[in-house]
Chains A and B, each alone.
Chain A
Amino acid sequence: MEVDSEDIQLLSMTMTDLRSDQLENQLLRHVDSLNKPLVNPRLRSSFEQLRAEHPRRFAELCKVHLSFITDVPADFLEDETACSGPRLAGHPDGLANKSTTSLTRWLAIGLLSRPAGLHRPPDDAAQLWQAESLLSLLSRQLQAGQPREGLFRKAGSLLRQRQIRDCLREGRLLDSADLSCHDTAGALKNCLADLPEPLLTSRLLPYFQRLAAPPPLLDQPLAAARQLRGLRLLMQLLPARRRCLLARLLCLLHSLSADPESRMCPESLGTVLGPALLYPPVCGWDAALVCARAVGLNSAAARLVELGPALLEIPESLGVDAARALDRLRLGRNPGADEVCLSLRFADCPRFPDPAGFTRAQLADLYTAVHCLPESGRKRRLLRRFNRCNGGLAKPSRPRT
């Protein structure tokens, strides 16, 4: 059979167009399904039940879902404290792997007396309570209509901030009329920065930093959808108290950024709250590290503020898997520790019954057509390309009949 090279070009162009349309449709479906929120109340209650009754299985499920979005080390869940405990091994930045840098940073952590990653100090709960109380006070002040221009940016009175925190340490809340929302916001920022264990936990902080950083192709729907999904999964991995506090904080910041009176856009809030939320504990004292990473971390914090309440949704596929895992546990068919049933697939292609077979057949057709071309530099080039794509081992399998 003689095939003209122009026909081949036309054929491959048509196939490319066809495939790109199909791909686009698939992509849009995939983007929709990635972040479909869990609304079914039955699934939601199963989800919460699995979290409460089988925290390890729950965390494992989240980890597997997360591994579709970002690299998760195999030992991510190896210690008992699962997702709540401080942990530096398996840090995606290789914190504990590089001897010199890790030594420096471990030393720095030790010397700078912020005991992140080593021992949980007993006053962790008390500090969280302080932050919760300050957040409640700030919400009340904002509801009362206090002027909010430059909130979190303008400095409050240092004296009053100290008074607020001293009172909180004694277990009471200073709520006097001359307290401005800037005083409270300043005290809240300090309180968050002083948490012995970061609000996002030492374990999850590097993942938040990495996932919230603006991806290079944020305009592409898939990149943005994957980011949102990853952050939603991380939110679910946070211990309950921290998750609630973060949720309340992000909702408040999100509404503040939408309020023109505050003049604080998400980027501005990211700049002033990045240090309290996303900087590594040691960073607060290390000027060089702050300078090097500040911009990236601040824009990551801005992204968290921008997404705000959207981060609190539970991905539907996670809910479905959680319900399935709970059913299996209830039926007594206790699967092995590593077995996780997933509703996720790497690719969806409902239009063709056998997508892999279809691709193979199409490739074989194309290969034959190229093989029939008259000898030329172009044919050699195309064959080389084929061999490269095909691993250089053999021609695609289906011969043309």
Chain B
Amino acid sequence: MSKSVSKSVKPIKIVVIGSGGVGKSALTLQFSKSKFFLDYDPTIEDSFSKSCYIDNEMARLDILDTAGQEEFTSMREQYMRLGQAFLVVFSVTDRKGFEEVDSLIQLIYRVKDREAFPIMVAGNKIDLQNDRCIDQSLAQELVQRHQEFNPYCAYIETSAKTRLNVDLVFHDLVRLLRLYNAKGGSKQAKKSKCSLL
């Protein structure tokens, strides 16, 4: 039953972005395959799909796992154009990865030509409490700044290793997208343009 239902459901394109080595692939693989892989291979591009019920409604997620290294930034704009919702990952043990979050979110707004868009910020690796250098408050502050004009932005702390909040982060992102679509976000929230004439 579920197979036929999931096939009839339109897939949601989720793009996972973030700096190199922050755990994007680990998070994606933990969600889609329920495994934590110890491999440390940098990704160029991988895609996964998973169907699940979220709030009693079937959702088919097409997740695009991307490269974090700036060598591959040429591909970024291309997949950003296709994405319907974004998971921006940083590691709570890596200050530099966190510094990149804001610019990545800005890039999403620019590429999508929207002031608001479904974006979930995930602070990963919270199992490594001893190495933590980004406080929860710091990340929340960043997200709150965005929430002032983008109500579809949220922050969740995760651990791909212990599977903490892994499902939640993807499910909440789908919820944000549904809310965004329900409010007609895709039609209305376009950036205000000069209307002199």
**Pairwise interchain contact B78-A271, C-beta atoms closer than 8 A:** no
Closest to A298 in B: B44
Is B113 an interface position by the 8 A CB rule? no
- As a 0/1 sequence over residues 89 to 114 of chain B, the CB contacts with chain A under 8 angstroms (1 = contact) are 00000111101100000000000000
Given known A150-B20, A268-B40, A294-B44, contact A155–B96 (CB-CB < 8 A): yes
**Contact of B20 (CB < 8 Å), options: A155, A276, A290:** A155
- As a 0/1 sequence over residues 44 to 71 of chain B, the CB contacts with chain A under 8 angstroms (1 = contact) are 1100000000000000000000001111
Determine the chain A residues whose CB is within 8 A of the CB of B78 once the complex forms: 287
Determine the chain B residues whose CB is within 8 A of the CB of A295 once the complex forms: 44
Given known A150-B21, A272-B71, A287-B78, contact A157–B42 (CB-CB < 8 A): no
Tell me the chain A residues, 143-163 only, with Cβ under 8 Å from chain B: 150, 153-158
- Report B's interface with A, CB cutoff 8 A: 19-21, 40-42, 44-45, 68-72, 74-75, 77-78, 94-97, 99-100
**Pairwise interchain contact B75-A157, C-beta atoms closer than 8 A:** no
Given known A271-B41, A291-B45, A294-B44, contact A154–B72 (CB-CB < 8 A): no
5 A-B residue contacts at CB 8 Å?
A155-B97, A156-B96, A157-B99, A287-B75, A290-B75
User: Would you give the shortest CB distance from A189 to chain B, in whole angstroms?
Assistant: 7
User: Would you give the shortest CB distance from A159 to chain B, in whole angstroms?
Assistant: 8
Tell me the chain A residues, 188-207 only, with Cβ under 8 Å from chain B: 189-190, 193
**Pairwise interchain contact A271-B44, C-beta atoms closer than 8 A:** yes
Closest to B95 in A: A157
Determine the chain B residues whose CB is within 8 A of the CB of A60 once the complex forms: none
**Pairwise interchain contact A267-B41, C-beta atoms closer than 8 A:** yes
Given known A154-B20, A276-B71, contact A268–B42 (CB-CB < 8 A): yes
Is A230 an interface position by the 8 A CB rule? no
Given known A272-B69, A287-B74, A290-B74, contact A154–B96 (CB-CB < 8 A): yes
The DSSP consensus for interface residues of chain A is helix
Is A324 an interface position by the 8 A CB rule? no
Determine the chain B residues whose CB is within 8 A of the CB of A298 once the complex forms: 44
- How big is chain A's contact interface, by range? 20 to 34
**Pairwise interchain contact A263-B94, C-beta atoms closer than 8 A:** no
Is A285 an interface position by the 8 A CB rule? yes
Determine the chain B residues whose CB is within 8 A of the CB of A263 once the complex forms: 40
Closest to B94 in A: A154
User: Would you give the shortest CB distance from B196 to chain A, in whole angstroms?
Assistant: 32
Closest to A155 in B: B19
A193 to B21, CA, bound (A): 21
**Pairwise interchain contact B96-A284, C-beta atoms closer than 8 A:** no
Closest to A275 in B: B71
- As a 0/1 sequence over residues 249 to 272 of chain A, the CB contacts with chain B under 8 angstroms (1 = contact) are 000000000000001110110011
A157 to B74, CA, bound (A): 20
**Contact of B74 (CB < 8 Å), options: A150, A154, A285:** A285
User: Would you give the shortest CB distance from B75 to chain A, in whole angstroms?
Assistant: 5
User: Would you give the shortest CB distance from A114 to chain B, in whole angstroms?
Assistant: 13
Closest to A286 in B: B74
A189 to B72, CA, bound (A): 12
**Pairwise interchain contact B96-A290, C-beta atoms closer than 8 A:** no
